[in-house]
Structure 1
């Protein structure tokens, strides 16, 4: 008989550790590339991607690394420190909210750029992108304050103690803000953006950079849908069967499946980098430039200033 408890621990230890570093490195590289290329810095779409990548890295540290340490190595500081417990739950609500919101805002931004309507294209400005991003950050920071105050340690577990907030976190936050709205927005505007791209390609009005950026957005949509939807389905299943009498074997199996799908879902916070490499030539070129820059920095020889003492010998005077 398979020991699902042991299988879960081994999977989290090895696969979880690999996925964390794989996605975290991808997120860091995305931040570096999007923030160092002058063309990317001038586009609202990639600015939203940059904000999403930063929030995604925070989420990987807060949730994925914490899951790996807790389930794989039995290290969970939130069980002993109420402050860390509250901060983790607060960050767990803020970071993914910002990341997911900026993901579908980047799709809308690219839809505006590829629109044939001049009025819609005029809405795609960096000034508006800055304002919207600031509003998104403020919204999620204020929205998540109740999670800080109504989270505490009970029976050795860091959890939300308010029943109303628990229900809101499940149905209002997870299924509405985290799953339903992003999926609807990304499918809708992703389809419209792809249609605009095809129309502009036929009329030879779409520039190469915008075409590659549209492909990056579409690839990101596919990644998010394929990683987040399975975990959302599992989460809905676990809620609907929470009050059933289950054998310990079934509980352990469901816990294993939940860890597999939960860790796989972290691809949406760092896996985009590898898709961008595959679909965008300009992105690959910028990655090469960044790597070459790092290599040059490592090969620079820093001269050491040594103090040279001049010893002046006084010749003996003959008498």
Structure 2
């Protein structure tokens, strides 16, 4: 009963996420490519995140919808497809949160009273960091192309990590890299940015008096948009982090736990929609 509910929920929710996510991210691309916003390096990170979200929707979300919602699992057709989808899908899946981390870092640098830090908030640095984040993700997740393969279990064939030591490594790796580090650094840089903004309140008032009103307004709008995105990321990642912690330190195998595992993974997809 619970398994069927999870299947139906997955089918309906993922279809909505794919439709709404496509519309939302396309609108983001339109907004972030406006000349006024493109002047800010922070916009480049948000633009990169929107592009990556679209890639996630049509690699990870679509294939999961076909597999879990309609029993059409392309990853079990061959080990090559299994490895490729796992590797590429998780690389796309991983970089978007770190683009938001970089956006938070950029706002921290931009608001810093130190000229050295402020100099890091520029489009040239942003482009390099975006390329660096993608390259690092490709390297960090390369082990998936080796150790993910078609597994045979009670429920049939599935594309999963190799059981044993690697499975333990994978759970710890995913928990740290995907569930712990992004929220931690997002929260850290947001707090540091708010502290910087309080310290420079006098300078902001001076900029308003000297005619830099529009620049200050744009920075505030970007920061507000970023905080909304970060809050969404934190709320979406938290349930998945809890489930992964339980999976790592306990051996729960019940219909109820499996049901919540499938439902909570859907919350993670909200941040890509």
Query: Cα deviations across residues 189-241 of structure 1 (Å, max 9, x unaligned)?
Result: 10121233344455424710001111111111111111101111022113333
Q: Give the drift of 1:142.
A: 2.3
Q: 1:252 to 1:65 in 2, by over 3 A?
A: farther
Q: Give the drift of 1:252.
A: 2.4
Alignment length (residue pairs)? 260
Cα distance in 2 for partners of 1:162, 1:130 equals 38
**Aligned equivalent of 1:117:** 114
What SS does the corresponding residue of 1:269 show, helix, strand or coil?
coil
Query: 2:238 aligned to 205, 225, 229, which one?
Result: 229
Matched, 1:184 2:187: no
Q: Give the drift of 1:162.
A: 6.2
What SS does the corresponding residue of 2:159 show, helix, strand or coil?
strand
Gaps (5+ residues) in structure 1? 271-319
Q: Give the drift of 1:146.
A: 2.1
| RMSD (Å) for aligned C-alpha atoms | 1.9
Q: 1:70 to 1:176 in 2, by over 3 A?
A: same
**Aligned equivalent of 1:83:** 80
Cα distance in 2 for partners of 1:150, 1:41 equals 41
Cα distance in 1 for partners of 2:66, 2:258 equals 16
**Aligned equivalent of 1:284:** none
Gaps (5+ residues) in structure 2? 208-214
Mapping for residues 71-220 of structure 1, pairs under 5 Å: 71-155=68-152, 156-161=157-162, 163-172=164-173, 174-201=174-201, 203-204=204-205, 205=207, 207-220=216-229
Cα distance in 2 for partners of 1:149, 1:240 equals 25
Cα distance in 1 for partners of 2:166, 2:89 equals 14
**Aligned equivalent of 1:10:** 8
Kept in 2, the 8 Å contact 1:193–1:214? The answer is no
Q: Give the drift of 1:97.
A: 2.0
Q: 1:135 to 1:49 in 2, by over 3 A?
A: same
Q: Give the drift of 1:22.
A: 1.6
Query: Cα deviations across residues 48-75 of structure 1 (Å, max 9, x unaligned)?
Result: 1111222222222222222222121111
Cα distance in 2 for partners of 1:179, 1:200 equals 33
Cα distance in 2 for partners of 1:255, 1:60 equals 23
**Aligned equivalent of 1:286:** none
What SS does the corresponding residue of 2:247 show, helix, strand or coil?
helix
User: What's the TM-score, normalizing by structure 1?
Assistant: 0.76
Cα distance in 1 for partners of 2:93, 2:8 equals 26
Matched, 1:58 2:94: no
What SS does the corresponding residue of 1:159 show, helix, strand or coil?
strand
Q: Answer with 1 or 2: which has the greater Rg.
A: 1
